[in-house]
Structure 1
Protein backbone atom coordinates (compact mmCIF):
# COMPACT_ATOMS: atom_id res chain seq x y z
CA UNK A 1 0.00 0.00 0.00
CA UNK A 2 1.15 3.53 -0.70
CA UNK A 3 2.03 6.04 1.97
CA UNK A 4 -0.86 8.21 3.10
CA UNK A 5 -1.37 11.70 4.46
CA UNK A 6 -2.45 12.41 8.04
CA UNK A 7 -5.45 14.68 7.39
CA UNK A 8 -8.01 11.86 7.37
CA UNK A 9 -6.35 10.07 10.31
CA UNK A 10 -6.41 13.16 12.51
CA UNK A 11 -9.88 14.27 11.52
CA UNK A 12 -11.19 10.80 12.40
CA UNK A 13 -9.38 11.00 15.74
CA UNK A 14 -10.83 14.45 16.36
CA UNK A 15 -14.35 13.25 15.60
CA UNK A 16 -14.07 10.20 17.86
CA UNK A 17 -12.05 11.78 20.73
CA UNK A 18 -8.77 9.88 20.58
CA UNK A 19 -5.25 10.64 19.36
CA UNK A 20 -3.00 9.01 16.77
CA UNK A 21 0.48 8.25 18.17
CA UNK A 22 3.42 9.45 16.07
CA UNK A 23 6.67 7.59 16.77
CA UNK A 24 10.04 8.86 15.59
CA UNK A 25 11.84 6.02 13.85
CA UNK A 26 15.54 5.69 13.06
CA UNK A 27 16.27 2.21 11.72
CA UNK A 28 14.82 -1.06 10.46
CA UNK A 29 14.14 -2.30 13.98
CA UNK A 30 12.12 0.73 15.01
CA UNK A 31 10.07 0.68 11.79
CA UNK A 32 9.23 -3.01 12.22
CA UNK A 33 8.52 -2.66 15.93
CA UNK A 34 6.15 0.30 15.56
CA UNK A 35 4.21 -1.26 12.69
CA UNK A 36 4.02 -4.74 14.23
CA UNK A 37 2.75 -3.38 17.54
CA UNK A 38 0.25 -1.03 15.88
CA UNK A 39 -0.98 -3.92 13.73
CA UNK A 40 -1.34 -6.12 16.79
CA UNK A 41 -3.42 -3.45 18.54
CA UNK A 42 -5.36 -2.34 15.43
CA UNK A 43 -4.14 1.22 15.94
CA UNK A 44 -3.53 3.88 13.32
CA UNK A 45 0.05 5.09 13.52
CA UNK A 46 2.38 7.73 12.12
CA UNK A 47 6.09 7.15 11.52
CA UNK A 48 8.05 10.38 11.87
CA UNK A 49 11.59 11.44 11.08
CA UNK A 50 13.51 14.66 11.58
CA UNK A 51 15.82 15.97 8.83
CA UNK A 52 18.78 14.15 10.41
CA UNK A 53 16.88 10.86 10.34
CA UNK A 54 16.27 11.17 6.60
CA UNK A 55 19.90 12.15 6.10
CA UNK A 56 21.01 9.12 8.13
CA UNK A 57 18.73 6.58 6.46
CA UNK A 58 18.36 8.14 3.03
CA UNK A 59 14.99 9.48 1.91
CA UNK A 60 14.48 7.06 -0.98
CA UNK A 61 15.59 4.11 1.15
CA UNK A 62 13.30 5.08 4.03
CA UNK A 63 10.32 5.59 1.72
CA UNK A 64 10.96 2.19 0.13
CA UNK A 65 11.39 0.46 3.52
CA UNK A 66 8.23 1.91 5.08
CA UNK A 67 6.19 1.36 1.92
CA UNK A 68 7.26 -2.29 1.72
CA UNK A 69 6.72 -2.86 5.44
CA UNK A 70 3.23 -1.34 5.28
CA UNK A 71 2.34 -3.38 2.20
CA UNK A 72 3.55 -6.63 3.78
CA UNK A 73 1.41 -5.93 6.86
CA UNK A 74 -1.59 -4.70 4.82
CA UNK A 75 -1.48 -1.38 6.64
CA UNK A 76 -2.05 2.20 5.58
CA UNK A 77 0.82 4.20 7.07
CA UNK A 78 1.78 7.86 7.15
CA UNK A 79 5.50 8.64 6.89
CA UNK A 80 5.90 12.12 8.30
CA UNK A 81 8.47 14.90 7.99
CA UNK A 82 9.01 16.08 11.56
CA UNK A 83 10.41 19.57 12.28
CA UNK A 84 11.45 20.39 8.73
CA UNK A 85 12.41 23.98 7.95
CA UNK A 86 13.62 24.04 4.33
CA UNK A 87 10.99 24.40 1.62
CA UNK A 88 13.37 22.97 -0.99
CA UNK A 89 14.04 19.94 1.21
CA UNK A 90 10.31 19.41 1.73
CA UNK A 91 9.72 19.69 -2.03
CA UNK A 92 12.32 16.99 -2.70
CA UNK A 93 10.84 14.63 -0.12
CA UNK A 94 7.22 14.94 -1.18
CA UNK A 95 8.33 14.24 -4.76
CA UNK A 96 9.87 11.05 -3.33
CA UNK A 97 6.42 9.97 -2.13
CA UNK A 98 6.00 11.37 1.40
CA UNK A 99 2.54 12.76 2.07
CA UNK A 100 2.74 14.23 5.58
CA UNK A 101 4.79 17.32 6.43
CA UNK A 102 5.50 19.42 9.47
CA UNK A 103 6.91 22.82 8.55
CA UNK A 104 8.53 24.33 11.63
CA UNK A 105 8.59 28.10 11.39
CA UNK A 106 8.09 28.52 15.12
CA UNK A 107 11.52 30.14 15.48
CA UNK A 108 10.43 32.91 13.09
CA UNK A 109 8.29 35.93 13.87
CA UNK A 110 4.53 35.40 13.77
CA UNK A 111 4.27 37.15 10.40
CA UNK A 112 7.17 35.21 8.88
CA UNK A 113 5.85 31.93 10.28
CA UNK A 114 2.55 32.58 8.48
CA UNK A 115 4.33 33.45 5.23
CA UNK A 116 6.60 30.38 5.25
CA UNK A 117 3.83 28.01 6.30
CA UNK A 118 1.44 29.33 3.66
CA UNK A 119 4.03 28.65 0.95
CA UNK A 120 4.48 25.08 2.19
CA UNK A 121 0.71 24.52 2.29
CA UNK A 122 0.37 25.72 -1.30
CA UNK A 123 3.14 23.34 -2.37
CA UNK A 124 2.01 20.31 -0.40
CA UNK A 125 -1.69 20.50 -1.14
CA UNK A 126 -0.92 20.23 -4.86
CA UNK A 127 0.38 16.73 -4.08
CA UNK A 128 -2.39 15.72 -1.69
CA UNK A 129 0.08 16.12 1.17
CA UNK A 130 -1.12 17.19 4.63
CA UNK A 131 0.63 19.97 6.54
CA UNK A 132 1.25 20.45 10.25
CA UNK A 133 2.78 23.65 11.61
CA UNK A 134 3.82 24.89 15.04
CA UNK A 135 3.02 28.07 16.94
CA UNK A 136 4.99 28.70 20.12
CA UNK A 137 8.26 26.92 20.82
CA UNK A 138 9.37 23.92 22.86
CA UNK A 139 12.76 24.01 24.57
CA UNK A 140 15.01 20.95 24.67
CA UNK A 141 16.65 18.70 22.10
CA UNK A 142 15.25 16.33 19.51
CA UNK A 143 17.97 14.92 17.24
CA UNK A 144 19.65 17.96 15.65
CA UNK A 145 16.98 20.38 16.89
CA UNK A 146 18.30 22.18 19.99
CA UNK A 147 16.46 25.07 21.66
CA UNK A 148 17.78 26.22 25.03
CA UNK A 149 15.39 29.10 25.70
CA UNK A 150 12.65 31.06 23.95
CA UNK A 151 10.99 34.44 24.43
CA UNK A 152 7.44 33.23 23.68
CA UNK A 153 7.22 29.58 24.78
CA UNK A 154 3.43 29.25 24.78
CA UNK A 155 0.85 29.30 22.00
CA UNK A 156 -1.46 32.29 22.12
CA UNK A 157 -5.06 31.16 21.42
CA UNK A 158 -6.02 34.22 19.34
CA UNK A 159 -2.84 33.98 17.30
CA UNK A 160 -3.52 30.27 16.81
CA UNK A 161 -6.94 31.04 15.35
CA UNK A 162 -5.48 33.66 13.01
CA UNK A 163 -2.56 31.41 12.06
CA UNK A 164 -4.78 28.45 11.14
CA UNK A 165 -7.11 30.67 9.12
CA UNK A 166 -4.40 32.48 7.15
CA UNK A 167 -2.20 29.46 6.38
CA UNK A 168 -4.72 26.73 5.56
CA UNK A 169 -2.80 24.10 7.56
CA UNK A 170 -4.35 20.73 8.34
CA UNK A 171 -3.14 20.46 11.95
CA UNK A 172 -1.45 22.69 14.52
CA UNK A 173 1.22 21.78 17.06
CA UNK A 174 0.68 23.79 20.23
CA UNK A 175 3.10 24.74 22.99
CA UNK A 176 1.46 24.32 26.41
CA UNK A 177 4.44 23.44 28.61
CA UNK A 178 5.95 20.32 27.08
CA UNK A 179 9.57 20.05 25.93
CA UNK A 180 11.70 17.94 23.64
CA UNK A 181 13.98 15.31 25.17
CA UNK A 182 14.24 14.50 28.87
CA UNK A 183 12.59 16.67 31.51
CA UNK A 184 14.72 18.01 34.37
CA UNK A 185 11.58 18.30 36.53
CA UNK A 186 7.95 17.28 36.24
CA UNK A 187 6.34 19.26 33.40
CA UNK A 188 3.45 21.55 34.28
CA UNK A 189 1.03 21.69 31.40
CA UNK A 190 -1.22 24.70 30.82
CA UNK A 191 -4.58 22.95 30.39
CA UNK A 192 -6.50 26.23 30.49
CA UNK A 193 -4.49 27.42 27.50
CA UNK A 194 -5.18 24.17 25.65
CA UNK A 195 -8.91 24.55 26.32
CA UNK A 196 -8.82 28.12 25.03
CA UNK A 197 -7.00 27.06 21.86
CA UNK A 198 -9.37 24.15 21.22
CA UNK A 199 -12.32 26.52 21.59
CA UNK A 200 -11.23 28.81 18.74
CA UNK A 201 -9.25 26.46 16.46
CA UNK A 202 -11.27 23.89 14.53
CA UNK A 203 -8.44 21.85 12.97
CA UNK A 204 -6.76 18.91 14.77
CA UNK A 205 -4.24 19.84 17.48
CA UNK A 206 -0.86 18.17 18.05
CA UNK A 207 1.17 17.60 21.21
CA UNK A 208 4.95 17.52 20.83
CA UNK A 209 7.35 16.48 23.59
CA UNK A 210 5.13 13.75 25.08
CA UNK A 211 8.07 11.61 26.23
CA UNK A 212 8.20 11.91 30.02
CA UNK A 213 4.75 13.46 30.40
CA UNK A 214 2.55 11.44 32.74
CA UNK A 215 -0.09 9.14 31.28
CA UNK A 216 -2.80 11.08 33.10
CA UNK A 217 -1.66 14.39 31.64
CA UNK A 218 -1.45 13.03 28.09
CA UNK A 219 -4.89 11.42 28.44
CA UNK A 220 -6.28 14.71 29.69
CA UNK A 221 -4.79 16.51 26.68
CA UNK A 222 -6.41 13.97 24.37
CA UNK A 223 -9.77 14.45 26.08
CA UNK A 224 -9.39 18.21 25.49
CA UNK A 225 -8.74 18.00 21.75
CA UNK A 226 -5.21 16.74 21.10
CA UNK A 227 -5.39 14.35 18.13
CA UNK A 228 -1.72 13.53 17.53
CA UNK A 229 0.86 12.72 20.21
CA UNK A 230 4.57 12.71 19.32
CA UNK A 231 6.91 10.23 21.00
CA UNK A 232 10.65 10.12 20.27
CA UNK A 233 12.97 10.12 23.28
CA UNK A 234 11.26 7.33 25.24
CA UNK A 235 11.53 4.99 22.29
CA UNK A 236 15.24 5.69 21.80
CA UNK A 237 15.98 5.25 25.50
CA UNK A 238 14.10 1.94 25.71
CA UNK A 239 16.02 0.60 22.73
CA UNK A 240 19.45 1.88 23.76
CA UNK A 241 19.28 0.94 27.44
CA UNK A 242 18.15 -2.61 26.71
CA UNK A 243 20.79 -3.02 24.03
CA UNK A 244 23.48 -1.89 26.47
CA UNK A 245 22.26 -4.42 29.04
CA UNK A 246 22.35 -7.22 26.47
CA UNK A 247 26.00 -6.51 25.67
CA UNK A 248 26.89 -6.21 29.34
CA UNK A 249 25.30 -9.59 30.07
CA UNK A 250 26.88 -11.27 27.07
CA UNK A 251 29.92 -9.41 25.66
CA UNK A 252 30.39 -12.14 23.06
CA UNK A 253 27.05 -11.69 21.33
CA UNK A 254 27.61 -10.40 17.81
CA UNK A 255 24.51 -11.22 15.78
CA UNK A 256 22.09 -8.28 15.39
CA UNK A 257 19.29 -10.78 14.80
CA UNK A 258 19.93 -11.93 18.37
CA UNK A 259 20.95 -8.82 20.31
CA UNK A 260 18.07 -6.77 18.91
CA UNK A 261 15.39 -9.15 20.19
CA UNK A 262 15.18 -7.79 23.73
CA UNK A 263 15.68 -4.20 22.58
CA UNK A 264 12.69 -4.51 20.26
CA UNK A 265 10.61 -5.94 23.10
CA UNK A 266 11.42 -2.86 25.18
CA UNK A 267 10.38 -0.55 22.36
CA UNK A 268 7.16 -2.51 21.89
CA UNK A 269 6.32 -2.03 25.55
CA UNK A 270 6.61 1.75 25.18
CA UNK A 271 4.56 1.68 21.97
CA UNK A 272 1.76 -0.32 23.61
CA UNK A 273 1.65 2.11 26.53
CA UNK A 274 1.39 5.13 24.23
CA UNK A 275 -1.30 3.52 22.09
CA UNK A 276 -3.31 2.80 25.24
CA UNK A 277 -2.86 6.37 26.49
CA UNK A 278 -3.92 7.81 23.14
CA UNK A 279 -7.00 5.58 23.05
CA UNK A 280 -6.17 4.57 19.47
CA UNK A 281 -6.30 0.77 19.93
CA UNK A 282 -9.05 -0.89 17.90
CA UNK A 283 -9.64 2.18 15.73
CA UNK A 284 -8.75 0.43 12.45
Structure 2
Protein backbone atom coordinates (compact mmCIF):
# COMPACT_ATOMS: atom_id res chain seq x y z
CA UNK A 1 0.00 0.00 0.00
CA UNK A 2 1.64 3.21 -1.16
CA UNK A 3 0.56 6.72 -0.28
CA UNK A 4 -0.36 8.63 -3.40
CA UNK A 5 1.30 12.03 -3.58
CA UNK A 6 3.77 11.21 -0.80
CA UNK A 7 7.42 10.57 -1.65
CA UNK A 8 8.52 7.10 -0.67
CA UNK A 9 10.55 6.92 2.53
CA UNK A 10 13.78 4.93 2.47
CA UNK A 11 12.97 1.52 3.94
CA UNK A 12 13.72 2.11 7.56
CA UNK A 13 16.58 3.35 9.65
CA UNK A 14 20.00 1.78 9.29
CA UNK A 15 22.20 2.02 12.32
CA UNK A 16 21.44 3.55 15.68
CA UNK A 17 21.47 6.86 17.47
CA UNK A 18 24.86 8.16 18.58
CA UNK A 19 25.61 6.48 21.89
CA UNK A 20 27.09 8.41 24.79
CA UNK A 21 30.57 9.83 24.44
CA UNK A 22 32.20 6.96 22.54
CA UNK A 23 34.45 8.76 20.01
CA UNK A 24 34.10 6.07 17.34
CA UNK A 25 30.31 5.96 17.54
CA UNK A 26 30.09 9.74 17.41
CA UNK A 27 32.44 9.93 14.42
CA UNK A 28 30.51 7.23 12.54
CA UNK A 29 27.24 9.03 13.27
CA UNK A 30 28.53 12.38 11.98
CA UNK A 31 29.81 10.83 8.77
CA UNK A 32 26.82 8.66 7.88
CA UNK A 33 24.28 11.35 8.73
CA UNK A 34 26.03 13.56 6.16
CA UNK A 35 26.12 10.88 3.43
CA UNK A 36 29.81 9.97 3.98
CA UNK A 37 29.12 6.24 4.19
CA UNK A 38 32.43 5.04 2.75
CA UNK A 39 34.35 7.01 5.38
CA UNK A 40 32.10 5.72 8.16
CA UNK A 41 32.53 2.13 7.01
CA UNK A 42 36.30 2.61 6.84
CA UNK A 43 36.35 3.76 10.48
CA UNK A 44 34.50 0.60 11.51
CA UNK A 45 36.48 -1.82 9.32
CA UNK A 46 39.38 -2.56 11.74
CA UNK A 47 36.92 -3.37 14.54
CA UNK A 48 34.53 -5.28 12.28
CA UNK A 49 37.13 -7.95 11.57
CA UNK A 50 36.57 -9.54 14.98
CA UNK A 51 33.80 -7.70 16.82
CA UNK A 52 30.26 -8.89 15.90
CA UNK A 53 28.72 -5.58 16.99
CA UNK A 54 31.09 -3.51 14.87
CA UNK A 55 30.57 -5.87 11.92
CA UNK A 56 26.81 -5.37 12.18
CA UNK A 57 27.17 -1.59 12.45
CA UNK A 58 29.34 -1.60 9.33
CA UNK A 59 26.64 -3.57 7.54
CA UNK A 60 24.06 -1.01 8.64
CA UNK A 61 26.18 1.85 7.27
CA UNK A 62 26.70 0.15 3.91
CA UNK A 63 23.05 -0.79 3.61
CA UNK A 64 22.07 2.80 4.31
CA UNK A 65 24.27 3.83 1.39
CA UNK A 66 22.37 1.39 -0.85
CA UNK A 67 19.04 2.77 0.27
CA UNK A 68 19.93 6.43 -0.22
CA UNK A 69 21.98 6.10 -3.42
CA UNK A 70 20.80 2.86 -5.05
CA UNK A 71 24.41 1.66 -5.27
CA UNK A 72 26.76 -0.68 -3.42
CA UNK A 73 24.53 -3.72 -2.93
CA UNK A 74 27.33 -6.26 -3.35
CA UNK A 75 29.51 -4.53 -0.78
CA UNK A 76 26.65 -4.47 1.72
CA UNK A 77 25.95 -8.16 1.09
CA UNK A 78 29.60 -9.04 1.72
CA UNK A 79 29.58 -7.06 4.97
CA UNK A 80 26.39 -8.80 6.06
CA UNK A 81 27.83 -12.27 5.43
CA UNK A 82 30.89 -11.33 7.51
CA UNK A 83 28.63 -10.13 10.35
CA UNK A 84 26.60 -13.35 10.20
CA UNK A 85 29.78 -15.42 10.43
CA UNK A 86 30.88 -13.58 13.59
CA UNK A 87 27.56 -13.87 15.45
CA UNK A 88 27.84 -16.23 18.44
CA UNK A 89 24.61 -15.95 20.44
CA UNK A 90 20.88 -15.62 19.75
CA UNK A 91 20.86 -11.83 20.12
CA UNK A 92 23.68 -11.41 17.60
CA UNK A 93 22.24 -14.00 15.22
CA UNK A 94 18.79 -12.44 15.52
CA UNK A 95 20.14 -8.94 14.84
CA UNK A 96 22.03 -10.23 11.79
CA UNK A 97 18.88 -11.97 10.53
CA UNK A 98 16.99 -8.71 10.98
CA UNK A 99 19.61 -6.97 8.82
CA UNK A 100 19.36 -9.68 6.15
CA UNK A 101 15.61 -9.24 6.05
CA UNK A 102 16.03 -5.51 5.73
CA UNK A 103 18.60 -5.69 2.93
CA UNK A 104 16.41 -8.15 1.00
CA UNK A 105 13.36 -5.94 1.53
CA UNK A 106 15.21 -2.82 0.37
CA UNK A 107 16.45 -4.57 -2.78
CA UNK A 108 12.88 -5.65 -3.52
CA UNK A 109 11.29 -2.25 -2.85
CA UNK A 110 13.85 -0.36 -4.91
CA UNK A 111 13.55 -2.74 -7.86
CA UNK A 112 17.03 -4.25 -7.72
CA UNK A 113 15.83 -7.85 -7.41
CA UNK A 114 12.76 -9.56 -6.00
CA UNK A 115 13.89 -10.92 -2.63
CA UNK A 116 10.54 -10.67 -0.85
CA UNK A 117 10.50 -14.32 0.26
CA UNK A 118 14.02 -14.00 1.64
CA UNK A 119 13.04 -10.84 3.51
CA UNK A 120 10.03 -12.50 5.16
CA UNK A 121 12.01 -15.63 6.03
CA UNK A 122 14.88 -13.68 7.57
CA UNK A 123 12.60 -11.49 9.68
CA UNK A 124 10.75 -14.59 10.84
CA UNK A 125 14.06 -16.11 11.88
CA UNK A 126 14.94 -12.93 13.74
CA UNK A 127 11.62 -13.03 15.59
CA UNK A 128 12.36 -16.58 16.75
CA UNK A 129 15.87 -15.69 17.96
CA UNK A 130 15.36 -12.34 19.67
CA UNK A 131 14.14 -12.25 23.26
CA UNK A 132 10.90 -10.33 23.92
CA UNK A 133 12.85 -7.58 25.70
CA UNK A 134 15.63 -7.40 23.09
CA UNK A 135 16.53 -3.84 22.09
CA UNK A 136 16.49 -5.05 18.47
CA UNK A 137 12.83 -6.09 18.61
CA UNK A 138 11.36 -2.61 18.00
CA UNK A 139 13.38 -2.38 14.77
CA UNK A 140 12.22 -5.88 13.83
CA UNK A 141 8.59 -4.86 14.38
CA UNK A 142 9.12 -1.77 12.25
CA UNK A 143 10.59 -3.78 9.39
CA UNK A 144 7.75 -6.30 9.54
CA UNK A 145 5.40 -3.32 9.27
CA UNK A 146 7.20 -2.16 6.13
CA UNK A 147 6.71 -5.55 4.52
CA UNK A 148 3.02 -5.52 5.46
CA UNK A 149 2.67 -1.99 4.06
CA UNK A 150 4.65 -2.19 0.84
CA UNK A 151 4.90 -5.87 -0.14
CA UNK A 152 1.79 -7.50 1.33
CA UNK A 153 -0.37 -4.34 1.08
CA UNK A 154 -2.01 -5.12 4.42
CA UNK A 155 -2.68 -1.76 6.13
CA UNK A 156 -4.12 -3.20 9.35
CA UNK A 157 -1.08 -5.43 9.96
CA UNK A 158 1.24 -2.57 9.00
CA UNK A 159 -0.42 -0.16 11.43
CA UNK A 160 -0.26 -2.68 14.29
CA UNK A 161 3.41 -3.41 13.63
CA UNK A 162 4.31 0.29 13.43
CA UNK A 163 2.50 0.95 16.71
CA UNK A 164 4.41 -1.87 18.44
CA UNK A 165 7.65 -0.54 17.01
CA UNK A 166 6.77 2.98 18.12
CA UNK A 167 6.10 1.90 21.70
CA UNK A 168 9.29 -0.17 21.79
CA UNK A 169 11.44 2.61 20.35
CA UNK A 170 10.10 5.02 22.97
CA UNK A 171 10.71 2.52 25.78
CA UNK A 172 14.31 1.88 24.66
CA UNK A 173 15.10 5.52 23.92
CA UNK A 174 15.77 4.79 20.23
CA UNK A 175 15.14 8.24 18.84
CA UNK A 176 16.24 7.61 15.26
CA UNK A 177 13.84 4.68 15.00
CA UNK A 178 11.18 6.80 16.69
CA UNK A 179 11.49 9.36 13.90
CA UNK A 180 10.72 6.60 11.39
CA UNK A 181 7.82 5.15 13.39
CA UNK A 182 6.29 8.62 13.74
CA UNK A 183 6.52 9.05 9.99
CA UNK A 184 4.94 5.74 9.13
CA UNK A 185 2.18 6.03 11.73
CA UNK A 186 1.51 9.43 10.15
CA UNK A 187 1.54 7.93 6.65
CA UNK A 188 -1.09 5.40 7.68
CA UNK A 189 -3.18 8.24 9.16
CA UNK A 190 -2.85 10.15 5.89
CA UNK A 191 -3.97 7.07 3.97
CA UNK A 192 -7.07 6.97 6.19
CA UNK A 193 -7.80 10.66 5.65
CA UNK A 194 -6.81 11.69 9.20
CA UNK A 195 -4.79 14.69 8.13
CA UNK A 196 -4.49 16.34 11.55
CA UNK A 197 -2.90 13.17 12.95
CA UNK A 198 -0.72 12.88 9.86
CA UNK A 199 0.58 16.45 10.21
CA UNK A 200 1.41 15.87 13.87
CA UNK A 201 3.30 12.65 13.17
CA UNK A 202 5.27 14.08 10.26
CA UNK A 203 6.16 17.17 12.32
CA UNK A 204 7.40 14.97 15.18
CA UNK A 205 9.51 12.93 12.76
CA UNK A 206 11.07 16.11 11.38
CA UNK A 207 11.71 17.53 14.86
CA UNK A 208 13.58 14.43 16.03
CA UNK A 209 15.72 14.26 12.90
CA UNK A 210 16.68 17.91 13.25
CA UNK A 211 17.54 17.43 16.93
CA UNK A 212 19.69 14.38 16.14
CA UNK A 213 21.42 16.09 13.24
CA UNK A 214 20.29 13.29 10.89
CA UNK A 215 20.86 15.47 7.85
CA UNK A 216 20.16 12.85 5.20
CA UNK A 217 16.73 12.22 6.71
CA UNK A 218 15.57 15.82 6.97
CA UNK A 219 14.64 16.38 3.30
CA UNK A 220 12.29 13.34 3.23
CA UNK A 221 10.67 14.55 6.46
CA UNK A 222 10.16 18.03 5.00
CA UNK A 223 8.61 16.61 1.82
CA UNK A 224 6.27 14.37 3.81
CA UNK A 225 5.07 17.22 6.01
CA UNK A 226 4.61 19.50 3.01
CA UNK A 227 2.29 16.95 1.40
CA UNK A 228 -0.32 17.30 4.19
CA UNK A 229 -0.14 21.02 4.98
CA UNK A 230 -3.25 23.07 4.18
CA UNK A 231 -1.17 26.22 3.59
CA UNK A 232 0.12 25.99 0.02
CA UNK A 233 2.73 28.71 0.58
CA UNK A 234 4.19 26.96 3.61
CA UNK A 235 4.16 23.63 1.78
CA UNK A 236 6.08 25.18 -1.12
CA UNK A 237 8.63 26.61 1.33
CA UNK A 238 9.23 23.19 2.87
CA UNK A 239 9.62 21.55 -0.54
CA UNK A 240 12.12 24.23 -1.56
CA UNK A 241 14.07 23.63 1.64
CA UNK A 242 14.06 19.89 0.93
CA UNK A 243 15.40 20.62 -2.55
CA UNK A 244 18.25 22.70 -1.15
CA UNK A 245 19.23 19.90 1.24
CA UNK A 246 19.19 17.31 -1.54
CA UNK A 247 21.44 19.53 -3.65
CA UNK A 248 23.75 20.08 -0.67
CA UNK A 249 24.14 16.32 -0.32
CA UNK A 250 24.85 15.78 -4.01
CA UNK A 251 21.46 14.36 -4.98
CA UNK A 252 20.88 12.26 -1.84
CA UNK A 253 18.46 10.66 -1.27
CA UNK A 254 18.27 9.67 -4.93
CA UNK A 255 14.64 8.50 -4.70
CA UNK A 256 13.57 11.97 -3.50
CA UNK A 257 15.70 13.86 -6.02
CA UNK A 258 13.77 12.10 -8.78
CA UNK A 259 10.47 13.40 -7.34
CA UNK A 260 11.41 17.03 -6.85
CA UNK A 261 9.94 19.70 -9.14
CA UNK A 262 12.29 20.66 -11.98
CA UNK A 263 13.12 24.03 -10.44
CA UNK A 264 14.47 22.39 -7.26
CA UNK A 265 16.04 19.23 -8.68
CA UNK A 266 19.80 18.88 -8.23
CA UNK A 267 21.95 19.80 -11.21
Work out whether the TM-score is over 0.5: no
Higher relative contact order (CA 8 A, sep 6+): 1
User: Please, what TM-score do these two structures have when normalized by structure 2?
Assistant: 0.32
Q: TM-score, normalised by structure 1?
A: 0.30
The structure where strand makes up a greater share of residues is 1
Question: Which structure has more helix as a fraction of its residues?
Answer: 2
